Structure 1
């Protein structure tokens, strides 16, 4: 059992890291170039020595922030906000007295236009039907990639390739309502152009109409779809240079005539980036301390393609088809060192080529059965994801004047197939109440192979995993007695099988209730009360018992005995003009899944 209590203030402010005993606090303010407060900016406190994240918080509506319990040391504050560029403070030291950081200024992101005609504009943030909507297309500062756009969403942080929402992991990422649960979604979003995104929906309390997976909630990325009349298109390019160069281009075309609408998007991203990681380990059994430093420059080329069509049939019917392709070619040239205070030093060169291909197809149908709101929709989806990684590693072990070299070849191949079909029906019961019914079936087939050879190590592992889920739901929603309400029940039954060194068999069914109440308090103030039960299924990486080699001192393996974790989420939110400014949340997780670090005997 695991209980987690999170108090969120000023628009999804994240729970802070474990507090130190010192009472020292760091505070400050975020302003723009005109001296006006920048509301709800994301504030990250980093150590100066290694840029490690110490705390992260959301600034208040007045741009002010306070980070309590900061231990003595040297730091820097890093700030970002939607609609602005990023900024950071000067270096500062924390001793025994409270530290007030000088104001951090953020510049409004500029975009040069020959002519601007404002017809109407959506607000950047909206709180509707229990979800926070970030209208990325209305922001002049949409990030160069989808991951950079996510980093600017209030209450959401991306730390060490992990997406954290309101201080919790276990976020389900969807693209146009379709799951990415089994793929390396963070790796895909790193190179996916944000200029193709229309909006981002942050759903911390999903209703019964959505998948029950995602203990922290769902982030749904809605891509743009041009429906303008006639034939039209846009071409955009971008380039940047820091330590390395980045560039990209996007072509968007659309043709709409009569009942037919055809649209397509093609993009190309070139990104030369790097990651640097410094860690320290202490073996408590032997007292040996290890200092590790890693520098990982990488070059990525990622073209994406999207083409689709909609056709309006007689009697209020629409049929559509959509095809997506994402390709990624990444070359990694990394150097790392491990220095032990017993005199054993290891230096590693890692040259790895990674290829990722993702293809997806969707067929959809919609019919309006009458003019009163009766509606039936159906979707069939299939996607294929392949990822290959070939790494050549050279380890040089030095013990005094003695040197030994170890050459390794690490070949990993993964193939994932996803198929799903669903149907949804909406029935108005009266002028203010609707009944929703639906069902969904899905199947994931995953095959993973690892070949490791060299340096006296010979390892060949294979892992196969299939997971089938059947689901059905009923949900009612409406307005009465000054309340906007929603209540539903979803049932899911899961069959999972895995084959590796041992077999994995899982059969379980569960019910997932949800309820949400919204009530206006004044003309500008509102309140929302919500509850939902969620499931966190172990991924195939979590279950795979085969050993994966990372470096001479680090490896990882899954646990085939893992069972799902279940979380009950409770939330109370206050909104101002439909934008949240205070959220109180509580969640309780049973059979929590977590990463455990352990020391094993050397071999």
Structure 2
């Protein structure tokens, strides 16, 4: 509560100060010069165009400014006669000479034309920045990033500010994995989201939006925010497209095409491709075991080698139909089919208390995987006028299957595991936006999400008999109904957005083999509030609050046992409850001619947070205690941190963007279990820790029209309740060159140059200490060839339909 009061006080002081500091002093002779800057051909606003005001025959700048996302600018100058220059990279500058400014002056719309001479120079391109920093979100434009050519969505997300992907493909935002991942505004229907993201090619992605504090129009799920992956949709008139071929080491290759055909009424689009990927990894776990008196009992070293191969087809086809000039209906089918093999070998080496070798054994897991995902989506947009009054309706149905069969052989035994999953999902959503006047609007909507998952998991012994205590059939049903409303308005330079969302949840978690039926019903209100203050055209301040929810899903809920290691095993917990988070965020954004800077301070207060705990099962294998890792509702977690992101263009041939996040996390809670002697043991899991994450990306245009990109990232060390996670460094680089009169591009990238991206940790239990190291994917080399037809590299969306990123979570924008 003290932190919240402090935040409110900060907002009050900050806004009061700027309310007086940024306006012309009372009685001064300064007047306001305003206007808008548009592109001449497409009539699209140009953000970041620069306005420079000088005295005639003098190079000294009297005043200047930058346009906002709507192309608008506002500059204060003393009365007088001035020369005014409006510029934007790769466009011809417009100059207004000897302009008399005696009172507030509106220059109207200034149209800029592309400069053909500059467009022929490689160092000056009319392309979007890789990372766009906006007040309420960060937008990562995939097409400008060479590092992800020939890669997957996981590679894309690993380059997005505030986002990180660990070596197992798990995605986190600001250090938390309690997030919601959307694809075109809709939840991903994949059973295994991490695996699905590794199968979707980067070439199919247009951009990624990161929303750290969503409003009431979005799903309440995702305690730390939302990541929205926007797929490519062709908009250019006629037939055009892109074909991409790639290959790499370890053995990787792929071929994909993005094709589009647009007429006056219909826009056909498709993305299709096949890819084959090989991931080679290594790992080890070194453990020391203790007697009751604290002396060393024995040592065990585990060495792991993994190889995973995946081959699959990914396709998407759809059509956007312009029913009337203001009504658009889009239908699409997504299809994905993958097959793969997994080889995971663990070698065990036993030592006595003096580190003398005593014995060895092995465990080999050979597995086959296959999955098939089919989804139909429909999106209808009705614009009642050109002022934002609209209705959006979305619907989708999907069916996903995921089968995994493994043969586990060991020194003295073997087992067989079968894991078959079928998931069906249906979604319906309607959003209505009604502007109520200048700078204000009302929104309301409904969303229904209905899912059914059936998971059969079996472990068989050497004779083919079922091991009942490790096998089960899970039936998981989830029905969620939601209503929301929000109202936004603008008063002078302040913008406000207040919303309320109600969600009713009905979940059934049934273990059919045990006749264990569990129903969870709950409904919650989720308020949200956002305040923004426009300090100037170049800077804004914001403060926001929202209540968020995290429902346990996937491997958290599934009680199927990961049996690749028979002494370090993982098992989900179907009895997990959702966690609730109160989120507070204070942000500031400032734009200069060459630099955009965004910083924020945030506080998250979470109840019933999920946490993985390790505890002995009471069983032993060759004298080694079996350790079980499973998630529990730990208790309470509080996180306080700050973050900054900047884009810097020191020269026309050099662009830099960087992201830094530091936070303190405090968890309180305990875990109880019964040991082998029937004694209840309680583990105190209270923990306080500081950690940080940094990423810097540099893009340089070299001689001979070669682009070079270099990215470095570092995850700082973090203390956990049962040990600590060590720091992790990764460096990637890429080179690209345009050929065939800029119709094609050749790119070469290296992922993890120093082979250093390894998850390393220490775990301290009552009678055991372990060091763990895991590298899911070793250093990788990729070469790709991109060919574009009837479409230039930096062609603008000159015939775009009304802006729509796939609906699903649609609605209006922040007022003003």
TM range (shorter): 0.7 to 0.9
User: How far did residue 382 of structure 1 move?
Assistant: 0.9
Asked if the contact 1:182/1:539 (under 8 Å) is kept, the reply is no
CA drift at 1:267: 1.2
1:357 to 351, 360, 372: 372
- Give 1:333's aligned residue: 343
Task: Confirm or deny: 8 A CA contact 1:172 1:181 kept in the other structure.
Answer: no
Q: Which residue of 1 aligns with 2:431?
A: 424
What per-residue deviation string (whole Å, max 9, x for no partner) do you get for residues 213-246 of structure 1? 11111111101110111122221112222xx222
Which residue is 1:234 aligned to?
Answer: 242
Structure 1 residues 224-373: aligned runs within 5 Å: 224-241=232-249, 244-283=250-289, 287-314=297-324, 316-342=326-352, 343=358, 345-373=360-388
1: distance between equivalents of 2:540 and 2:386?
Answer: 32
Aligned twin of 2:549: 535
Once the two structures are TM-superposed, the CA of residue 256 in structure 1 deviates from its matched residue by: 1.1
Counterpart in 1 of 2:602? 585
SS of structure 2 residue aligned to 1:121: coil
Tell me the equivalent position of 2:668.
none
Question: How much does 1:115 deviate?
Answer: 9.6
Tell me by how many angstroms 1:275 deviates: 1.6
| 3-state SS in 1 of match to 2:619 | coil
Deviates more, 1:554-563 or 1:257-266: 554-563
> Does the alignment pair 1:173 with 2:181?
yes
In the other structure, the counterpart of 2:64 is none
The superposition leaves residues 24-69 of structure 1 with CA deviations (integer Å, 9 ceiling, x where unpaired) of xxxxxxxxxxxxxxxxxxxxxxxxxxxxxxxxxxxxxxxxxxxxxx
- For this pair of structures, how many residues does the alignment match? 484
Decide which of 146, 151, 157 is 1:150's aligned counterpart: 157
Residues 479-558 of structure 1 mapped to structure 2, 5 A cutoff: 479-500=490-511, 501=514, 502-558=516-572
1:379 aligns with 2:394: yes
Cα distance in 2, alignment partners of residues 414 and 207 from structure 1: 34
Distance (whole Å) between structure 2 residues aligned to residue 317 and residue 237 of structure 1 = 37
Contact residue 151 and residue 158 of structure 1 kept, 8 A: yes
**How far off its partner does 1:591 sit?**
0.9
1:182, distance to aligned residue in structure 2 (A): 5.9
Q: Which is greater in Rg?
A: 2
CA contact (8 A) 2:138 2:161 kept: no
CA offset digits 1:567-589 (Å, max 9, x no partner): 11111222232944422111111
User: Contact 2:190–2:196 at 8 Å: present in 1 too?
Assistant: no
Alignment of 1:390 onto 2:405: yes
Correspondence for 1:436: 443
Q: Which residue of 2 aligns with 1:215?
A: 223
TM-aligned CA distance change 1:371 to 1:541, over 3 Å? same
Task: Report deviation, 1:555.
Answer: 2.7
Q: Deviations over 1:247-274 (max 9, x none)?
A: 2211121111120111111112121221
* SS in structure 2 at match of 1:541: helix
Structure 1 residue runs of 4 or more that deviate by more than 4 Å after TM superposition: 113-119, 282-288
Distance 2:275 2:575 in 1: 41
Go from structure 1 to structure 2 and tell me whether the alpha carbon gap of 1:493 and 1:182 turns closer, same or farther (over 3 Å shift).
farther
Query: Is the 1:173–1:181 Cα contact (8 Å) retained in structure 2?
Result: no
Structure 2 SS opposite 1:147: helix
Look up the match of 1:92. none
> What secondary structure sits across from 2:548 in the alignment?
strand
- RMSD after superposition: 2.5
Equivalent-residue separation in structure 1 for 2:338 and 2:554 (angstroms): 22
CA contact (8 A) 1:249 1:267 kept: yes
Q: Could you tell me whether the CA contact under 8 Å between 2:253 and 2:276 is conserved in 1? A: yes
Partner of 2:482: 471
**Aligned-partner Cα distance in 1 for 2:215–2:474:** 34
* Deviation (angstroms), 1:557: 2.6
Asked whether the 8 Å contact 2:493–2:535 carries over to 1, the reply is: no
Cα 1:147–1:168 change in 2 (3 A) is same
**CA apart distance, 1:523:** 4.4
> Which consecutive residues of structure 1, in runs of 5 or more, have no partner in the other structure?
4-112, 397-404
Bigger Cα displacement from structure 2, 341-350 vs 386-395: 341-350
* Normalised TM-score (structure 2): 0.57
